[in-house]
Structure 1
Amino acid sequence: MTLFYLKLIVTPLLMWAISLAARRWGGLLGGLLSGMPITSGLVMTFLCLEQGTAFALGALPGALGGLAAVQATYTFYLLATRRLGVASAVLLALLFYGLAAYVFTHWGNLYLSIAVALLLIGVLIRASGREPRPDTLARPRHRFWEIPLRMVSATCLLMVITSLASWLGPATSGMLAPIPVIAWPLVVFAHVQSGRFGMAAMVRGNAIGAVGVIAFYLVLAGLLEAWGVAITVSLAMICAVVLTVGLATVLRRR
């Protein structure tokens, strides 16, 4: 019951904080925060505590495959919206994510997933940085229900994945861990409210944050058995934050 209440409290609070940060400081920071291993970190932590470290380690290849699928989906969406409307592009992107996640998880491997994810991260950073800045930026109109809806969505997804983990198995549970339940609504809302430039800034932040997610998973893979859940997850999160902030700083100076 303690773990249940932790899921019920921590997840919506994180979504609330990230949504407010994105609203206050803009799409790039919102993308960075939502792209970091927050939802996926919570999922992996609860999988460790509820299913054991062996199960969590078995889920890591699927998680990295899912992360590669997420980056492929962002690339697809960024390109598709040059010709399609938001609604059509979102629907096709979600279908594309399901296909890509299945392919990477069941037919790929750990190293292929990492290589593809890093390649797509580079593509996204380069492509999103080339979006022309409009002469005037429209002031986004925020709906009162946006943040509560995101909080409920993130919490429900975490509950479903961790509750069904023993039935889904480690591969599928891992594949579902990096689903951008926080980032994806932010990207779509940014696109609707601020146009392609706002959406591209959010995607760019997510791509930069994904480098930290890869580091997070690799630290788990290397240290979880030897160092235990608490120390390993803490170190993995620190590595993810340091790497993400460092990369963002370097890219900003350019």
Structure 2
Amino acid sequence: MSPDLTFLLTLGFRMAITAAFVVSASVITERSGPVIGALVATLPISTGPSYVFLALDHDAAFIAEGALASLPINAATIVLGLTYVVLAQRYNAFVSWSCGAAVWIALAALSRTIQWSLVGGLAANAIAFGICIQLLARFRHVKMPLITRRWYDIPLRAALVAALVATVVTLSGWVGPGISGVIALFPIVFSSIMLILHPRIGGPATAAVVANAGWGLFGFGVAIAVLHVAALRWGSAIALVLALMTGVSWNLALWWFGHRRAVAR
């Protein structure tokens, strides 16, 4: 088998596996309400597979540097979420998402002009989330209407995430770990939720899912920091497992805390 054909088959397999993860998670999000949906949406279901595939092609130093570049991008994602949530109260899905994506791209470009350290990346997350979570609070509590899935929903989600994986895997060897870390964190799950749910259930209900994702997304940033530190010390495989455990444990803790508060009421 030729090297080109092997690459294409491997790439197709990676795209299909990742798309299956994201589609499954987004279906759960639709059926479980804004709080649980937000926790599912902030699991590493898109970025995780991208980093796994990067780890198959590159060494631990590449993964560590990519994670360091991803850390400030996580802060940009919560700003995208806030932009969308505010605009979605009045405007349609395309306008709301486009403005949020433009903000994300601008912040991502700005982040590439700064030489980030772990402390700096964590500080950027702390500042961004400290501001945005407070501003998002009043948009969290909206009743989720019944959702009727359309025939193109699943193919559209699969195509979006497959395109992301193809971009990351194909370009990683050319653009280096910094740009790969930025691309890997493009908010494909959030974008899918915004563009698919908004036209059917309305801006406020879709915005509630995004607004509830603040603390989960902050935990995702902690998982990225764990990936960076662990990759340098113990290698990519252990680092990826620890980062996944961090993200899942964080969201389970958020669910448990929220459940206890609900019972106490």
TM-score category by the smaller chain?
0.7 to 0.9
Give the aligned residue type for 2:26.
S
Instruction: Name the structure 2 match of 1:130.
Output: 138
* Counterpart for residue 60 of structure 2: 53
Determine the structure 2 residue equivalent to 1:117.
125
Deviation at 1:181, TM superposition (A): 0.8
Within a 5 Å distance, the mapping from 1:153-172 to structure 2 comes to: 153-172=160-179
Return the match for 1:98 from 105, 111, 127. 105
* C-alpha contact (below 8 Å) 2:25/2:40 kept by paired residues: yes
Per the alignment, residue 11 of structure 1 pairs with 18
RMSD value, Cα? 2.4
Equivalent pair of 1:59/1:174 in contact (CA under 8 Å): yes
Q: Return the TM-score normalized by structure 1.
A: 0.87
Report which stretch shifted further, 239-248 or 186-195: 186-195
Asked if 1:75 corresponds to 2:95, the answer is: no
Name 1:250's counterpart in structure 2: 257
Distance across 2 between alignment mates of 1:161 and 1:180: 13
Query: Closer, same or farther in 2 for the Cα pair 1:223/1:142, shift >3 Å?
Result: same
AA partner of residue 27 (structure 1): P
Match for residue 3 of structure 2?
none
Query: Could you tell me how far apart the structure 2 residues matched to 1:225 and 1:101 are?
Result: 24
CA drift of 1:72 comes to 1.2
Q: Secondary structure at the match of 1:106?
A: coil
For the 8 Å contact 1:128–1:200, the answer to whether it is kept is no
The within-5 A match list for 1:227-238 is 227-238=234-245
**Is 1:88 aligned to 2:95, yes or no?**
yes
Percent of aligned positions with the same letter in both sequences?
22
**Could you tell me how far apart the structure 2 residues matched to 1:170 and 1:194 are?**
39
Cα distance in 1, alignment partners of residues 172 and 93 from structure 2: 33
| Aligned with residue 184 of structure 1, among 166, 179, 191 | 191
Question: What pairs up with 1:16-55 in 2 under 5 angstroms?
Answer: 16-55=23-62
1:167–1:36 distance in 2 versus 1, CA, 3 Å:
same
Give 1:11 shift: 0.5
Structure 2, unaligned runs of 5 or more: 1-5
The one-letter amino acid paired with 1:87 is: F
CA contact (8 A) 1:66 1:105 kept: no
Give the total of aligned pairs: 253
